[in-house]
Structure 1
Amino acid sequence: MNNYSQNYHNESLTRRQEPQNCYMDNTSLRIPLAVFYTLFFLFGFAGNLLALWVFLRLHPKKNSVRIFLINLALADILLVICLPFRVAYHFNNNQWVLPSLLCRIVGNVFYMNMYISIALLGFISVDRYLKFHRASSRRWFLQSHWSAIVCGVLWAVSIAGVSPFIVKTENNNETHQCFQYKKLCDSKWKAYFNFVIVAIFWVVYGALVMSYGRIGMKLITASRDKPDFPNAAKYNKTAWKSFFVLFTFTVCYAPYHFVRIFYIMSQMAPNVSCNKMNVLDKTNEVVLLLSALNSCLDPVMYFLLCSSIRKVTLKFICNCFCQQTNNALNSSSDEQPKIMTVVPKTICQDIKKATIIIK
C-alpha cells in the first residue's frame, strides 16, 4: 500500500512539473502580426474580389481552369475574411473577448480555406500538365463539368472534416485566449488528423514540383533548341511564369508545413520544456503569416498565367478609364480639353496595344 501511494505521489508530481500552463509570450510579434494581417486583408480581399468578378462577369469562357480559379478566389476571400478577427485579437493584447464558439469558427474556417486553396492549386497544376502533354486518356478531368464536381466534393469533404473541430468544446480554462498553443496529449486523434493534412500537403507539393518543373524545363529546352522558332520567346516566358507559381507556393506554404511537423510532435509529447514551446509557438506564427500571404499573391498568379484574364482585365480598365476621361472632358470648360486630351488618349492607346500584344 505504501509503494502504491509513493508511485501515485511520484506520478502526480510529474504531472505538476509538466508545463501544461506555460505562458506563451508573443508580445514582440503582436503588433507586426496585426499590421501584416491588416495589409493581407486589404490587398487579398480587393484582389480576389476583382478576380472573382472578372471570372464570373467578364470572362465567360468555360473550361476546367476557370472553374478551379473561381473556387480558388472564393476560398481566398473566405480566408481573408477571418483575418480581421486575428487583427483585433493581436491589437487587444492577445485577448479574445468574443464568444468561444466564434473563436473555433474563425480558426477552423481559416485553415479549411487554406487547404482548399492548396488542393485547388494542385488540381490546376495537374490540369495544366495534362493539357500541355495532351493526355487524351485523361481528357475527362479537363472538362468543366468534371472540374465542378471535383470542386464540389472538395468543399463537402472539407466542411465535413472541419465541423467536429467547431462543434466539439474543449475544457480550456483560458477562455480569453484564441489561436494559442495547445497540448494534445488527451486528444491525440487531432494530432494524427493534423499529420494526415500535412502529409497531403507534401503530396500536393510534389505534384506541383513535378508538373510545373517538367512544363518549365520542357519549354526552356524547346526555346533553346529552336531559337528561330516563332514561339521560342513565348515558350521561355511561359516557363518562367510556371517557376514563379512554384516559387510562391514554396515560399508561402513549405516553411509552415515543415515547422508544423515539429509543432504537432511537441503537442503530443508529454514532457516539453516551456522554452521549446515558446520557440515553436513564435515560429509557427511567423510561418503562418507567410501562408496567409498567398491569398494576396494568387490574384497576381491569375494575371500572369492566363493571357485571356490579362486581356479582359486590361480591356476593362481601358474602357473604364476612357469613359471617365470622356465624361470629364465633356463636362469641363473649352480651355481644359486642349491640355487634357493628349495624356488620356495616349494611355488608352497604350492599354489597347497591350491587349493586342497579349496572346
Structure 2
Amino acid sequence: MSAFSLSHFNHSTSAAMSAHSSAPTLAPAFHPFSVASSIHISSTPSNQTGCHPDDTNIRLPLIAFYSIFFILGLVGNIFALWVFLFLQSSRNSVRVFLINCAVADLVLLACLPFRIFYHVNGNKWVLGPVACKLVGNLFYMNMYISILLLGLISLDRYLRLKGKSKARRRLTMKLWGQSWPWSWLVCGIVWSLSLMTMVFMIATAEDSEDTDRCFQYKKRRKVQGKAYFNGVLVVLFWLVFVMLVISYIKIASQLLRASRDKPGLPNAQKYKCTAKKSFFVLFVFSVCFGPYHAFRPIYILTQLSDTVSCDYLQLVDHTNEVMLLLSAFNSCLDPVMYFLLSGSVRKTALQAVGHRLGNRLPFWNDGTSNSSTTEFRRSSVAIQGMALVLPNPTPQNDNLPPSTGPCG
C-alpha cells in the first residue's frame, strides 16, 4: 500500500512539475497585456527619426521619363551648341547667353544617367556619399543657371527695346589681352558663384549620411542653413519670373503695336507671330519651373518640422519627384525655344533635315527665309530706333528670298 502511495505521489508530482514547466511558454500567448504590447511595438508613432519615404512605386516612371529626357535633350542641345559655336556668325549678347544655356543643359543632362542607374538598381547608391552630393548639386546648380540665363535674355531684349543697347555694349572687360563683352562677364560671374555655392553645399554635412541612398528626402533639422538657402533660391526664381513676364509683355505689346500702326512696314503682319513666339520662354517657365517652385516652400517646411506624419512625408516626397521631372523637361524644351526664336538655328536645322522634306512641308521652307525680327530690325530707323527684340539671325539670312509662309 505504501509502495502504491509513493508511486501515486511521484506520478502526481511529475505531472504538476510538467504543468508548471509548460506554463511560461503558454502564458505570454494568452496574457491580456501581451497582445497590446506586441501591437504597440509594431505600430510605433510615425515620428521623423525612423521615417524614410519610399520611392519604389514610382521607380519605373522615373526611369522611363529621365531616359526620354536624356536622349531628346542631349540631341537637341548638342545640335544647338554646334550651331551657335560653328555656324552662327553673329556675336551678339543673346548668342552668348544661349551658348551658356546649352552648356548648362548638357551638364544637367549628364546627371540624369546617374539618377537612372540609381532607380534601376532598386534605389541603391553604390558610388558613395560624396559622389551623390556632387551629382545632386550639379543637377540643381545647372537648373538655376538656366533660369538665370533665360532671365538675362529677357533683360537684354528689354534693354534693347528701351534703347539702352549702346550703353550695354560699352560694358567690357580686359582679360588675357582681349576685350570681352558684358554678356561674357555676367555669365562668368554666374558660373563662378554657382560653383562656389556647389562646393559649399558638398562640403557641408547632412543630418544623416546614408551611403546606400541618394536623391532621397532629407531632413534639415541640424543643417537648417541649407533649407534657408533653398528658400532664397525660390525667391530668386519668382523674381526672375516676374522680370520675364514684364519684359515679354512689353516686347509683345511693342511688336503688336508696330504691326497695327505701321502696316506698310515689310512683313508687318508677321510681328504678331513673332510676339507669340516670344511667349514660349514664359511657357517654359510656367510648365517646367513654376510647379516645382510653387511646391518648394511646402517641401522646405516639412524638412524643418518635427511633427509631420510619415504618410504626409511620403506624399510630399512623391509630389516633389514629379515636379522635379517637369524641371528636367526644360532641357528638352530649350532647343525648341532656340529653333523658334533664332533664325539661324531654324535655317541650319532645316538644312540638316533636307530639301526633300522642306519641299513637301511648305511651312518648313518658311523657316529659312527672312524672319520677321530681321525685318523688324531693318525698320527700326523708321519707327524711332525700335531695337530688335529677338536673337539676330545670321547675316547670310539677308540674302534669302522673302518668306512665303504666314509666320516667319
TM-score after normalising by structure 1: 0.83
* Helix, strand or coil at the partner of 2:252: helix
Give 1:218 shift: 3.0
- Percent identity, aligned pairs only? 50
Q: 1:169 to 1:351 in 2, by over 3 A?
A: same
Q: Which moved more, 1:255-264 or 1:302-311?
A: 302-311
CA contact (8 A) 2:70 2:109 kept: yes
CA contact (8 A) 2:48 2:306 kept: no
Q: CA RMSD in A?
A: 2.6
Whole-angstrom distance in 2 between the partners of 1:74 and 1:39? 19
* Residue 321 of structure 2 corresponds to residue 292 of structure 1: no
* Helix, strand or coil at the partner of 1:279: helix
* Helix, strand or coil at the partner of 2:307: coil
Residues 225-265 of structure 1: CA distance to partner in whole angstroms, max 9, x if unpaired?
Answer: 55565433221011101122211211100100011011001
Larger Rg: 2
Q: 1:58 to 1:191 in 2, by over 3 A?
A: same
2:126 to 97, 103, 112: 97
TM-score after normalising by structure 2: 0.73
Whole-angstrom distance in 2 between the partners of 1:61 and 1:297? 23
* Residue 368 of structure 2 corresponds to residue 355 of structure 1: yes
Q: 1:191 to 1:353 in 2, by over 3 A?
A: closer
2:154 to 102, 122, 125: 125
Which residue pairs with 2:282 in the alignment?
Answer: 246
CA contact (8 A) 1:130 1:138 kept: no
Q: 1:203 to 1:95 in 2, by over 3 A?
A: same
* Residue 62 of structure 2 corresponds to residue 33 of structure 1: yes
* Residue 225 of structure 2 corresponds to residue 189 of structure 1: yes
* Helix, strand or coil at the partner of 1:355: coil
Which residue pairs with 2:164 in the alignment?
Answer: 135
Q: 1:173 to 1:123 in 2, by over 3 A?
A: closer
Which residue pairs with 2:242 in the alignment?
Answer: 206
Structure 1: runs of 5+ lacking an equivalent: 1-15, 323-342
Paired residue total? 322
Structure 2: runs of 5+ lacking an equivalent: 1-44, 173-179, 375-408
Give 1:173 shift: 5.4
* Residue 139 of structure 2 corresponds to residue 110 of structure 1: yes
Which residue pairs with 2:176 in the alignment?
Answer: none
Residues 3-61 of structure 1: CA distance to partner in whole angstroms, max 9, x if unpaired?
Answer: xxxxxxxxxxxxx8632221312222111111000010001111101111111101121
Alignment of 1:139-150 (within 5 A): 139-140=168-169, 145-150=181-186
* Helix, strand or coil at the partner of 2:279: helix
Q: Which moved more, 1:62-71 or 1:22-31?
A: 22-31
Residues 50-101 of structure 1: CA distance to partner in whole angstroms, max 9, x if unpaired?
Answer: 1111111011211100110000000000000000111111122211122221
Q: Which amino acid aligns with 1:25?
A: D
Whole-angstrom distance in 2 between the partners of 1:214 and 1:141? 24
Whole-angstrom distance in 1 between the partners of 2:272 and 2:363? 24
Whole-angstrom distance in 2 between the partners of 1:139 and 1:173? 47
